[in-house]
């Protein structure tokens, strides 16, 4: 597990650029967690720019997923924030017991079969659903948790972990290249 202090948006963009540069063929899955306002959407925007996406990247909070395909890799930006609200309201499942997340996971399974980046904000909400848990456990991914740093409006702590082997080298490269940003444990 790697912990970096991001002093400002420039550091966040630098990290996104290095991660974008380390993404290879196949499904590249990122799980993004953290409180509201910690930089998840800003990070995805920086990733998309680093991958050559020229479109305006916006939060898919109300549509659950936006697709951007004009860069080095197609970017599928998922935001599950509203899934928390749906779960609190009792799930709103259809007559077959399937909910919105089940349909989204089925679509993500199809997307994961091609070269792509899937970035899931509020990824912890995948655990509230069997198909979501199965999707995450069935795919290696890079987990990033953004946290506030006490007494700072700009600084964030980025806690990063490779789930599976696919992103291990990338995390090690980041550790080597970002020594000036390492959190003292």
- Dihedrals φ, ψ of 118, to 5°? -115, 115
pLDDT tens by residue, 87-124:
443 444 444 445 678 888 999 999 999 999 999 999 99
Q: Which residues pair with 127 in a beta bridge?
A: none
Which tokens sit at 52? 């050559």
27 neighbors 18 (Cβ within 8 angstroms):
no
Per-residue pLDDT of 16-75, as tens digits, reads 999 999 999 999 999 999 999 999 999 999 999 999 999 999 988 888 899 999 999 999
Distance CA 78, CA 32 (A): 10
- Start-end of H helices in 5-144: 9-21, 40-50, 81-88, 100-111, 130-137
Residue partners of 168: CB distance under 8 A and separation at least 6:
162
Q: Dihedral sign for Cα 31, 78, 170, 36, please.
A: negative
Helix, coil or strand: residue 164: coil
Structure tokens at 181: 């940003």
Please provide the average confidence, as pLDDT, over all residues in the chain: 88
- Residue 16 CA to residue 51 CA, distance in Å, equals 10
Beta bridge mates, 163: 141
Is 1.10.1200.10 the CATH classification of the domain at 2-178? no
Is the confidence at residue 83, as pLDDT, over 80? no
DSSP class of residue 56? P
Local confidence band at 131 (pLDDT 50, 70, 90 cut-offs): confident
């Amino acid at each position: 597990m790697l912990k970096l202090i991001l002093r400002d948006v420039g550091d966040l963009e630098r990290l996104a650029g290095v991660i974008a540069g380390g993404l290879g063929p196949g499904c590249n899955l990122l799980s993004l967690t953290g409180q509201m306002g910690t930089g998840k959407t800003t990070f995805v925007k920086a990733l998309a720019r680093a991958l050559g996406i020229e479109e305006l990247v916006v939060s898919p909070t109300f549509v659950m997923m936006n697709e951007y395909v004009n860069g080095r890799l197609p970017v599928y930006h998922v935001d599950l924030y509203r899934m928390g609200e749906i779960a609190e309201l009792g799930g709103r499942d259809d007559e077959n017991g399937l909910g919105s997340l089940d349909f989204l996971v089925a679509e993500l399974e199809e997307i994961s079969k091609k070269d792509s980046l899937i970035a899931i904000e509020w990824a912890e909400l995948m655990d509230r659903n069997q198909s979501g848990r199965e999707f995450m456990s069935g795919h290696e991914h890079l987990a990033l948790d953004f946290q506030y740093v006490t007494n700072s409006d700009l600084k964030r702590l980025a806690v990063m972990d490779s789930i599976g082997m696919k992103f291990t080298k990338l995390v090690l490269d980041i550790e080597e290249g970002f020594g000036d940003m390492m959190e003292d444990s």
